[in-house]
Structure 1
Amino acid sequence: MSETEGNGAAAQPPQVKMQVLGQFIRDMSFENILVRKGVQGEMTPDITVQVALDARKRQPDHQYEVITKFTISSKNKGDETQLFLMELEYGGVFHVENVPEEQLHPFLLIECPRMLFPFVRRIVSDVTRDGGFPPLNLEPVDFVALYRQEIARRAAEQQAQAAPAN
């Protein structure tokens, strides 16, 4: 039989399957530096969020572990006094099938973190609230832009290593 079925429609590639098998906190810390140091006065928080991603193949076929690493720092805008520091590594185990090999890496580092992000946002909000601060609701993360930045950074790093030293 040819590429087309009897009805004239082109044969469809197999549909991508993704299933979240489990989610977990791999590591988490929250330091309320404001209380520990006894800082007084008016505070205007300046919050920075750094995100790193990692993915690896697991032993069963089609299973992957994806880790999102968030480092959230809050400093006072006036004097740069550290208010709090939170580090969270949140992971998921995914069953992924029918993704072409050349698209698997971006799929794991874009689509899988998108699935985990609402849970990360909730944990950050709860922990900052329970730590004595207003709940911090993280802005959505553009995982496509994050992926592209990492690819560009790696390419620049490889180019720098390949360039002869003067």
Structure 2
Amino acid sequence: MADEDQTSPETAAPADGAAQNGAAQGQQLPQMQILGQFIRDLSFENVAVQKGRAMEGQPDINVQVGLEAKKRPTEGQFEVGVKLSITARVKGGDDPIFALELDYAGVFQIANVPDQQMHPYLMIECPRMLFPFLRRIVSDVSRDGGFPPLNLENIDFVALYRNELTRRAQAEAATATKS
């Protein structure tokens, strides 16, 4: 009985090649696995308390994001880092209330991504996967630093990537016209 075909009509593949084509394409879908995540560097300064000032008024929060990616020695593994620099100031003032810097990274195993699409994949999809963990760290650190938890808005990594490409193209054009 073990040698009998146990395929039922519901699970049998259709005779046409469409389903087989779809299965072949399905095997080529990009695959990502997060192998690990870690904080490379974390700094929080409660400037208001250090200078003996009370926080008065609404804070003006400035968030700067930097991204980096590098290939690791193991085939298909990449390390992607997200650097956040957050400064809070009282609206209309120059004195900082607090400053938070976070360098957070993840190690990813990536397969089935064409070489020409790897850079955008690393700079968009990988940071998108790390972001919920970053948000939690920022919230906890700002709360533990004596302030209401700072809940970051979602970051549009596609727009960030496009802006960086535009900035690089403009910088290259400016360099080309100077020479």
TM range, smaller chain: over 0.9
Residue 29 of structure 1 corresponds to: 43
Residue 111 of structure 2 corresponds to: 97
**CA deviation map 1:40-63 (0-9, x unaligned):** 362321001000100000000000
SS, match of residue 152 in structure 1: helix
Residue 83 of structure 1 corresponds to: 97
Matches within 5 A, 1:1-166: 7-9=16-18, 10=21, 11-12=24-25, 14-40=28-54, 42-164=56-178
For the Cα contact (< 8 Å) 1:21–1:95, is it kept in 2? yes
**Could you tell me the TM-score, scaled by structure 1's length?**
0.92
Task: Give the superposition deviation at 1:16.
Answer: 1.1
2-structure distance, mates of 1:127, 1:164: 45
Letter aligned with residue 71 of structure 2: K
Residue 3 of structure 1 corresponds to: none
2-structure distance, mates of 1:31, 1:98: 43
Q: How many residues align?
A: 161
Could you say if the C-alpha distance between residues 152 and 41 of structure 1 is closer, same or farther in structure 2, counting changes exceeding 3 Å?
closer
2-structure distance, mates of 1:78, 1:157: 32
SS, match of residue 150 in structure 2: coil
For the Cα contact (< 8 Å) 1:44–1:78, is it kept in 2? no
Of all paired residues, the percent bearing the same amino acid is: 58
2-structure distance, mates of 1:41, 1:115: 34
1-structure distance, mates of 2:152, 2:178: 43
Letter aligned with residue 27 of structure 1: D
Structure 1, gaps ≥5 residues long? 1-5
Two-structure CA RMSD over aligned residues (Å):
1.5
**CA deviation map 1:139-164 (0-9, x unaligned):** 00000000000000011111111113
2-structure distance, mates of 1:122, 1:41: 23
Residue 11 of structure 2 corresponds to: none
Letter aligned with residue 61 of structure 1: E
SS, match of residue 119 in structure 1: helix
Structure 2, gaps ≥5 residues long? 1-14
Greater Rg by CA: 2
